[in-house]
A and B are shown apart, each in its own frame.
Chain A
């Protein structure tokens, strides 16, 4: 009896030693920008754990009959009295029906360039009916049409050292995602919703659809995409300094 107990204890100790060995030798440099923040420690563990899951599997897609009503939050404030310059710029683009709109792709790419709305629409598109999940707790299903972010990054010649992508919006928000999510087949720059052009409340002319994270990361009113060699939380306007988690896969 006692020799069995010792064996169990030894098995447990060996297991613990193996786990700590893995933890010590693991490369922690790929941890997210919240690494070291005590409140976000759980999110970092979730990120590390989820990155061990099969990465390129597709999230569930639904049928046209599943399309539901869809609230719009974080709508651009066009009437703001002291609107920043970029919101005034957006207003001007809106008046010109987005003919002058450009999506700039820059940073760690071989050929930085700007895409017009028509150029994006001429790239191979993807249409998907997916479930949007808000951090608040509600959900909605819609059909999205757009060009995979992967295609746009490849057209600009993303460099092999790239590690993350920072996206900027016209209403002065930004978000950043790692390459695993950026290159996911369902991560698209959407210009169509439910078979029509994207409306202003949902992010016209182009918004990100990031189906593997919560809706908050699917930035509306896209303006600029910057490829980085390191994780970049975006500083003062990024999620961390505005009081949010960086990783929202849960």
Chain B
């Protein structure tokens, strides 16, 4: 059995608390909106770069074929800025690109606030009520290699314990929740803010932390990819462990 019981020490689990259930579904709605609007924003310029600078006149790290803007080549004759013809150039756009950022960006930031406020509330209550310590943060004992290995093997053989409607969680489950809460979510927020000229105007050091504006944009995207993988695994596990029971646990709660 993966789920060795700490329940006795920490008090029995009596279903997800109301504040957990409410913040879970607000965050869910925000994440779906962030993914939708974020994808629209990426479609407008589906090229990723490293460093401070990246545009259609400079080489990309990767180009994603996700809109008609992909490799559109709609540029006039390049004109060098300096006497050196191999140096930086200017070119005028001759192509009507796909661009729905008028609503896409505003929706993204609206959803970001819808994520930040309940997210911060969850974190505050979670830390001060002991919820994180009791249910999310892996214990030293659980991180013992033998224990982790057993949980890995259980997952490989898809030995999913039946839904209990909440904790106790296995060590891999705890670790992935902790990584999302304490690594991926802050990374998303900070890399997003590093793309804001007004914010890096006040805190230029952020540009050094991420290695430049375009690096922050690329890291924002890569963190999204890892969070998307987490959501896929999360949903698969919810279904595999008993969909009805789990959804009941996270809605009406018991």
Nearest residue, chain B, Cβ from A244:
B102
Which chain B residues in 51-87 approach chain A with CB under 8 Å?
A: 52-58, 75, 78-79, 81-82
Query: Chain A's nearest CB lies how many Å from the CB of B104?
Result: 9
Query: Chain B's nearest CB lies how many Å from the CB of A128?
Result: 12
Are A137 and B41 within 8 A (Cβ)? yes
**Is A122 among interface residues, defined by CB-CB distance under 8 A?**
no
Chain B 82-119, CB within 8 Å of chain A: the 1/0 string?
Answer: 10000011111100010101110111111111100000
Nearest residue, chain A, Cβ from B99:
A136
Are B213 and A70 within 8 A (Cβ)? no
**Is A211 among interface residues, defined by CB-CB distance under 8 A?**
yes
**Is A118 among interface residues, defined by CB-CB distance under 8 A?**
no
Chain B 185-226, CB within 8 Å of chain A: the 1/0 string?
Answer: 000000011011111111110010000011001000000000
**Is A94 among interface residues, defined by CB-CB distance under 8 A?**
no
Which of A11, A45, A58, A140 lies in contact with B201, CB distance below 8 A? A58
Are B101 and A201 within 8 A (Cβ)? no
Determine the chain B residues whose CB is within 8 A of the CB of A46 once the complex forms: 109, 113, 196
**Is B42 among interface residues, defined by CB-CB distance under 8 A?**
yes
Of residues B107, B109, B114, which shows the largest number of chain A Cβ atoms within 10 Å of its Cβ?
B109
**Is A97 among interface residues, defined by CB-CB distance under 8 A?**
no
Are A67 and B88 within 8 A (Cβ)? yes
- Given A12-B128, A42-B106, A43-B106, A133 contacting B213 (CB threshold 8 A): yes
Are A71 and B56 within 8 A (Cβ)? yes
Nearest residue, chain A, Cβ from B69:
A136
Determine the chain A residues whose CB is within 8 A of the CB of B89 once the complex forms: 69-70
Cα(A79)–Cα(B193), bound, Å: 40
**Is A26 among interface residues, defined by CB-CB distance under 8 A?**
no
Are B56 and A138 within 8 A (Cβ)? yes
Are B214 and A39 within 8 A (Cβ)? no
Query: Chain B's nearest CB lies how many Å from the CB of A174?
Result: 16
**Is B125 among interface residues, defined by CB-CB distance under 8 A?**
yes
Determine the chain A residues whose CB is within 8 A of the CB of B114 once the complex forms: 42
Nearest residue, chain A, Cβ from B193:
A250
Nearest residue, chain B, Cβ from A138:
B55
Chain B 120-164, CB within 8 Å of chain A: the 1/0 string?
Answer: 000011001100000000000000000000000000000000000
**Is A245 among interface residues, defined by CB-CB distance under 8 A?**
yes
Stretch from A49-57, A84-92, A161-169, A229-237 contacting the other chain: A49-57
B residues lining the A interface (CB < 8 Å): 41-42, 44-45, 47, 52-58, 75, 78-79, 81-82, 88-93, 97, 99, 101-103, 105-114, 124-125, 128-129, 192-193, 195-204, 207, 213-214, 217
Which 10 residue pairs of A and B lie closest in terms of their CB atoms, listed nearest first? A249-B198, A42-B110, A137-B45, A69-B57, A250-B196, A138-B55, A42-B109, A243-B102, A53-B202, A59-B201
A residues lining the B interface (CB < 8 Å): 5, 8, 11-12, 39-43, 45-46, 50, 53-55, 57-60, 62, 66-73, 75, 131, 133-142, 193-196, 199, 201-202, 211-214, 242-245, 249-250
